[in-house]
Structure 1
Amino acid sequence: MSRFKNAAGFQRPAAAVAALLAAGTLVAACGNSGSSSASGSKVITVWDQEQSAKNIADGYQSVVKQFEQAHPGVTVKVQTFPFAQYRDKMLVAMKGGTGPDVMTLDEVWTPEFAAAGLITPLDDRVQASKQIHPADFFSGAWKSTQYQGKTWAVPLNFDVWEEMYYNADMFRAAGLDPNKPPTTWSEWNAAAAKLTKSPNQFGISLIGSKDESSSVMTDSLLFSNGGQILSGSDKVDFDSPENVAAYQEYQTLLKSAPQGTSGTAESDAVNQFTAGKAAMILDGSWQQDTMKTSAKFDWRIALPPAPDGKKFVGALGGWNLAVNAKSDNADLAYQFIEMLSQPKNETAVNSLIPALKSAGEQFVQANRKQPDVILSALNSGLPRPASPVYPQLSEVQQSTLQAIIGGKDPQSALKDGAQQMNQVIANNK
């Protein structure tokens, strides 16, 4: 089945748009936010990007029916878009004043939309809500809604980069105990070297292509070593000693990876693993669906190794629910978010892990192998930098990794990258 990638690097099976747009209330809604129907009843519009690992249209239909029954005279119209089109359509509509009342935003878009005044802060509504309580959500997911001391959204779903997938059969053949995968960087490097039998077998396949997946994957190395990209929203820490050491670790692992890492995307790494060419990869829990059908060997997962004496910290991605700053029906829009944030409803409209702890834990236990490992990774996770210029900063990070893969000294590469990031921030003040 063909696949597409979202900004967080997560991949979901692609399906036809028509399969997601059910009859009845799930209709196209491109009119002005806060519009009214011909009979004078209020209309709220909801936009989401396609999640097609399952048919979420049925889930939305159920929530819409509940909401309309609880709010006589209100009509809810939902529209979903292919991910590749979603962000551009959203920005055009929002800046033109014709955006939806409620929208899902990639967590790394949330600061951008907040800084541009396109969405409204929700602090007062959250404080007064009987349904939404920050403590009920995974902490990392809730942190992704924060920018400059305010709450701009409510988490819908999330996941973490990443777990370490490993081929237990290859471990046995190499004399390694598959019940004791590496837990430290030094053990990791030794295992990867021992598992490498070039040109047919390699210890690890690393994502290195110039896209968001390489940023979020390497973030986990930085975070695990105590590093960060930014301090606050505009102080660049990219060239810190902690980050230099993390990229040096990546460069060490490259010695045990196949040639061509600069072009290795997430799907390429997965294919190398399932084909038995790579003994280990770093990827998220969503790839278990692929492993169950394509990996014809004893595959397992573990928390990725961390620097000696430290613990693994993952990098989060996911989607948040926000309210249009120009909505004439902001209260109703937030009430719809409240209804979506009930555990049963959040599960119904999701193909990623629900952001509510109760729903998310149940989802992982029911759908994932080694759920305890995944939940541990989820609870470790931190969001990517909360910056309105994050996409540009990530492009710098991707180019820096390309230079390091090409042989550039990490300290020099990160120094150059930090200067470029500072320039991006300065140009956007």
Structure 2
Amino acid sequence: MKGISKSIIAIIIVIIVIIAILGAYLVLTSHKPTTSTTTSPAITSSVTLTVVTFSGESAQFIQYAGELFSQEHPGVTVKVITYPFSNYIDQELSALESHSSEYDIIGFTSTSAQRVAPYLLPLNTSLFNMTDLIGPQEAFGGIIYNSTLGKNITIGIAYETAVYLMAYKPSIFQNATLANEFYQEYHISFNPSTWQNWTDVLDADQFLVSHNITKYGFLIDDHVAHGIIDAYPAVFGWYYARNNTLNHGLVGGIPGFNIMFEGYIPPGFSFPLPSFNSTSGLEALEVYKSLISYEPSPSSIQISYDNLAQFYPDAAGAFLFTSQLSSFNTSQLQDTYLAPLPGGYAETGTDFLGISKYSTHVELAEEFLAFLVSPKVQTIAFLKFSKFPVSKEAFLNLISNTSLPTYEREWLSAVYNASLNAWANPPNIPPTYISLISDFNSQVYNYLTGQTSAQQALQTAASDWVQAEASYYG
């Protein structure tokens, strides 16, 4: 009986071991990774990424890029919804303030960045090749200081390069006879890319208009609704950079406040004071008015973003954002070269895309933004939509592309160099869009149209700005 018992026990043990091994095998195989390639929700189901921004060619580029993205991501649709520039921010805020998930990706400009910032997620910058993106373009609106976190965060990605610089006509400025006459009279080069100060521009205006070579000099925006806040800092930047009392060693000013404020916060204040109500600011304003005297009077016709191309044929050149070139006809484009502002700097005017806090497709939205600023897509932006890339690699590839017209390669080289030194910017702190722009523009316009003095205009605007800061920052 003992022998039989031992045999039975041995058999039972073997059976138990076999069961244990079989159980372990079943557990392991039940956790084996699948080899299927259709695990991504973006692929297995239909997903729509909705972008909201202002209407225009930039929106068309985003939509085109979205179609390319869809080809690489079956099941994903990118839908771009646009509103007129005049009210797109209000439309966006209406949805964001109600915590709507209607929009995944939010478009905004440099000066409206702080208005939408509370509703945007910090971007996962590890998904982007940030070293390939032109820093000054990204910094002016894409990166803001978060006082709660105590650090800078990236809320948006610049998807094109836009800088405010000088356009001029080679048919005029490469004319050897005119160049010789100008040098004999003013003793400076007739090549705008060599000009070192704003007096050189005024000399060229005086020469060309007085000799009836052109009807107007270099056009510059003087529109009271928005243009003045773009044009004045472009001129003032030259003076601000050379006045250490104003900039305190920060050529571009404190980020966010930029050159229209002093480069330090005085004791007893939680914000910097305006810089333009100074001797340097006054000089810049007087130069600005002199520039405008060589174009239609602002009391009758204001030069603006929308109508500059209309007057360009009768002018020597213009100070403009590169995005305005899209409104020029072919003959105008072929007779246009670009140069930095006098002294070798520029102003930024970049547009951005950020991701809504209420988006239900955050990772996919970030993936699309990374795709949008990739060198390949950025190259397409220029070739198909004449949008200057924000990718350095795309810029350099285009500059070396000998199949492009000479004037386009000249643009690319000039814009690339100017974009790396674009710091003469207006503010983009929260009150900017709400009150600073209108406060400043209305006062300067009153001066330009003879309704007040230069000093009174700047002092009143500065006082209004300090009140706006105090209301916001305390």
TM range (shorter): 0.7 to 0.9
- Could you say what secondary structure the match of 1:354 adopts? coil
Contact 1:196 1:202 in 2 (8 A): yes
* Residue deviations 1:277-298 (CA, integer Å, cap 9, x gap): x323212334445555354995
Give the Cα–Cα distance (whole angstroms) in 1 for the partners of residues 368 and 222 of structure 2.
40
- Could you say what secondary structure the match of 1:210 adopts? coil
* Residue deviations 1:55-112 (CA, integer Å, cap 9, x gap): 533331111232x34xxxx644422314335323211111122241222222222222
Give the Cα–Cα distance (whole angstroms) in 1 for the partners of residues 457 and 95 of structure 2.
39
| Residues 363/224 of structure 1: CA separation in 2 closer, same or farther (3 Å cut) | farther
For 2:96, the equivalent position in structure 1 comes to 94
For 2:390, the equivalent position in structure 1 comes to 355
Note the C-alpha offset of 1:234. 4.4
Please report the TM-score for the alignment, with normalisation by the length of structure 2: 0.69
For 2:449, the equivalent position in structure 1 comes to 406
Structure 2: tracts of 5 or more residues without a match: 1-40, 146-151, 184-188, 242-258, 264-269
For 1:323, the equivalent position in structure 2 comes to 355
For 1:143, the equivalent position in structure 2 comes to 139
For 2:430, the equivalent position in structure 1 comes to 388
* Residue deviations 1:7-61 (CA, integer Å, cap 9, x gap): xxxxxxxxxxxxxxxxxxxxxxxxxxxxx99x97665433343343795333311
| Residues 54/325 of structure 1: CA separation in 2 closer, same or farther (3 Å cut) | closer
Percent of matched pairs sharing the same residue: 17
> What RMSD, in angstroms, separates the aligned Cα atoms of the two structures?
3.3
For 1:229, the equivalent position in structure 2 comes to 260
For 1:313, the equivalent position in structure 2 comes to 345
For 1:20, the equivalent position in structure 2 comes to none
Matched, 1:152 2:193: no
Note the C-alpha offset of 1:245. 2.1
- Could you say what secondary structure the match of 1:162 adopts? strand
More helix by share: 2
Contact 2:197 2:238 in 1 (8 A): no
For 2:468, the equivalent position in structure 1 comes to 424
Bigger Cα Rg = 2
- Could you say what secondary structure the match of 2:349 adopts? strand
Note the C-alpha offset of 1:161. 0.8
User: What does 1:255-266 correspond to in 2, within 5 Å?
Assistant: 255-260=293-298, 263-266=302-305
Give the Cα–Cα distance (whole angstroms) in 2 for the partners of residues 270 and 236 of structure 1.
36
Give the Cα–Cα distance (whole angstroms) in 1 for the partners of residues 436 and 119 of structure 2.
21
Note the C-alpha offset of 1:316. 1.0
Give the Cα–Cα distance (whole angstroms) in 1 for the partners of residues 58 and 122 of structure 2.
31
Note the C-alpha offset of 1:246. 1.4
- Could you say what secondary structure the match of 1:281 adopts? strand
Give the Cα–Cα distance (whole angstroms) in 2 for the partners of residues 299 and 75 of structure 1.
41
For 2:191, the equivalent position in structure 1 comes to 180
For 1:59, the equivalent position in structure 2 comes to 65
Give the Cα–Cα distance (whole angstroms) in 1 for the partners of residues 137 and 79 of structure 2.
24
Per mean C-alpha deviation after superposition, the further-off stretch among 346-355 and 86-95 is 346-355
More strand by share: 1
Structure 1: tracts of 5 or more residues without a match: 1-35, 306-310
- Could you say what secondary structure the match of 2:116 adopts? helix
| Residues 413/196 of structure 1: CA separation in 2 closer, same or farther (3 Å cut) | same
For 1:302, the equivalent position in structure 2 comes to 339
Aligned AA (2:133): F
Give the Cα–Cα distance (whole angstroms) in 2 for the partners of residues 79 and 269 of structure 1.
28
Contact 1:50 1:81 in 2 (8 A): yes
Per mean C-alpha deviation after superposition, the further-off stretch among 396-405 and 281-290 is 281-290
Contact 1:191 1:203 in 2 (8 A): yes
Q: Select 1:111's aligned residue among 83, 95, 114.
A: 114
Give the Cα–Cα distance (whole angstroms) in 2 for the partners of residues 326 and 141 of structure 1.
26
Aligned AA (2:201): W
| Residues 75/219 of structure 1: CA separation in 2 closer, same or farther (3 Å cut) | same
Note the C-alpha offset of 1:315. 1.5
For 2:440, the equivalent position in structure 1 comes to 397
Contact 1:205 1:269 in 2 (8 A): yes
Note the C-alpha offset of 1:412. 2.6
Give the Cα–Cα distance (whole angstroms) in 1 for the partners of residues 110 and 458 of structure 2.
25
Give the Cα–Cα distance (whole angstroms) in 1 for the partners of residues 298 and 107 of structure 2.
35
| Residues 426/361 of structure 1: CA separation in 2 closer, same or farther (3 Å cut) | farther
Contact 2:436 2:468 in 1 (8 A): yes
| Residues 296/173 of structure 1: CA separation in 2 closer, same or farther (3 Å cut) | farther
Note the C-alpha offset of 1:362. 4.2
Please report the TM-score for the alignment, with normalisation by the length of structure 1: 0.75
| Residues 282/44 of structure 1: CA separation in 2 closer, same or farther (3 Å cut) | closer
Aligned AA (1:404): Y
* Residue deviations 1:331-375 (CA, integer Å, cap 9, x gap): 332233223232223444674222222224445674725232222
For 1:50, the equivalent position in structure 2 comes to 55
Q: Select 2:221's aligned residue among 191, 197, 207.
A: 207
| Residues 61/185 of structure 1: CA separation in 2 closer, same or farther (3 Å cut) | same
| Residues 189/379 of structure 1: CA separation in 2 closer, same or farther (3 Å cut) | same
